[in-house]
Amino acid sequence: MTNWMELDQNIREWIAEAGKRIRASFQTELNIQTKSNRNDLVTNIDKATEEFFTDNIRNIYPDHEIVGEEGYGDELQEMKGITWVIDPIDGTMNFVHQQRNFAISIGVYENGVGILGYIYDVVHDELYFAKKGEGAYMNDIKLEELKPVDIEDSIVALNALWVTENKRIDPTILAPLVQTVRGVRSYGSAALEMAYVASGRLDAYLTMRLAPWDFAAGRILIEEVGGKVTNLKGEDLNPLEKSSVFVGNSQLHKTILEKYLYRFK
Ligand code: 2AM
Ligand code: CA
């Protein structure tokens, strides 16, 4: 049996320590490399942070499995037992260019079901946390159930890329949504965008391609406040696969799916 209380205490300690080290790194020179393309960045701090978590997890929980962005985890075909899904720095471009608007994101799954989600806004020292069935919090503040909002009054997070020519979505699908909502925002960290939906700062977030570590924690937070988490076709997310992601308060999610996304194939 998993001692979830003890596990929660351990993660919180590790997250606090990792956050301290990341803040201290602002005083040092970053070693920046690119991955799949010139805008896909990774730094020595992304790697060191992931290694810090995987070392601690393997030390205390040798039978747990790990999925991590920077390759310190395991290669998994399926989720059995306890799986940690880790993005050491979500929003690396922001980390490099802005030293803000990035987060540590950790989801803990049991047999493929999300149990614990942590999104730590390192610069603001804000920890978004959820436990399945027990609600969601921002530090000590309990997050409220998401309330219905009219689409004309909603704030939606969306990268401008998706309403220009791109290879993932016909830009004429989301352009009318942009014209209808009250405001559109783009923060450049999927984890924070999901934490903002969970805390009601945003009403929805749509993006065309995320990896499991980008959404592992956020989906647990959003579901704990009654929000909806799917891909852009309205289907459930596979926790081990890259996917488009569409999250929002339930009623707005339904409206956007029916009025705008029905054309997305
Ligand atoms: P990252 O910084 O951890 O890579 C930026 O638009 C958001 O999308 C960030 O959360 C970023 O996570 C993620 N992201 C950027 N490029 C991605 C890609 N090729 N695949 C999956 N997620 C990506
Ligand atoms: Ca990352």
> DSSP string of the chain?
---HHHHHHHHHHHHHHHHHHHHHHTTS---EEESSSTT-EEEHHHHHHHHHHHHHHHHH-TT-EEEETTS-S---SS--SEEEEEEEEE-HHHHHHHS-S-EEEEEEEETTEEEEEEEEETTTTEEEEEETTTEEEETTEEPPPPPP--GGG-EEEE-GGGGSS-SSS-HHHHHHHHHHSSEEE--S-HHHHHHHHHTTS-SEEEEEEE-HHHHHHHHHHHHHTTEEEE-TTSPPPPTTS-EEEEEEEHHHHHHHHHHTGGG--
The pLDDT of residue 1 is 87
List of the chain residues with pLDDT < 50 = none
CA–CA separation, 240 and 105 (whole Å)? 15
* Residue of the CA atom closest to atom 8 of ligand 1: 190
Evaluate whether the domain defined by 4-142 bears CATH number 3.40.50.1370: no
The ligand 1 atom at the shortest distance from the C-alpha of residue 36 is 19
Mutate to test the pocket of ligand 1, among 196, 210, 241 (most ligand atoms within 8 A of CB): 210
The ligand 1 atom at the shortest distance from the C-alpha of residue 39 is 16
The pLDDT of residue 175 is 98
The pLDDT of residue 256 is 98
What's the CA-to-centroid distance between 103 and ligand 1, angstroms?
Answer: 12
- Residue 59, token pair as written in the block: 């030390």
Question: pTM to 2 decimals?
Answer: 0.97
Burial of 146 (C-beta count, 10 Å sphere; 0-12/13-18/19+): buried
- Answer yes or no: are the C-beta atoms of 31 and 49 closer than 8 Å: no
Residues of the chain with CATH 3.30.540.10: 4-142
The pLDDT of residue 27 is 93
The ligand 1 atom at the shortest distance from the C-alpha of residue 94 is 2
* Residue of the CA atom closest to atom 20 of ligand 1: 210
CA–CA separation, 218 and 192 (whole Å)? 8
What's the CA-to-centroid distance between 188 and ligand 1, angstroms?
Answer: 8
When the pLDDT of each residue in the chain is averaged and rounded to a whole number, the result is 97
Evaluate whether the domain defined by 151-259 bears CATH number 3.40.50.300: no
What's the CA-to-centroid distance between 7 and ligand 1, angstroms?
Answer: 27
The pLDDT of residue 265 is 84
CA–CA separation, 178 and 200 (whole Å)? 19
From the CA of 91, which ligand is nearest?
A: 1
What's the CA-to-centroid distance between 24 and ligand 2, angstroms?
Answer: 18
The pLDDT of residue 264 is 95
Residues of the chain with CATH 3.40.190.80: 151-259
Q: What is the pLDDT of residues 200-257, one digit of tens each?
A: 999 999 999 999 999 999 999 999 999 999 999 999 999 999 999 999 999 999 999 9
What's the CA-to-centroid distance between 19 and ligand 2, angstroms?
Answer: 14
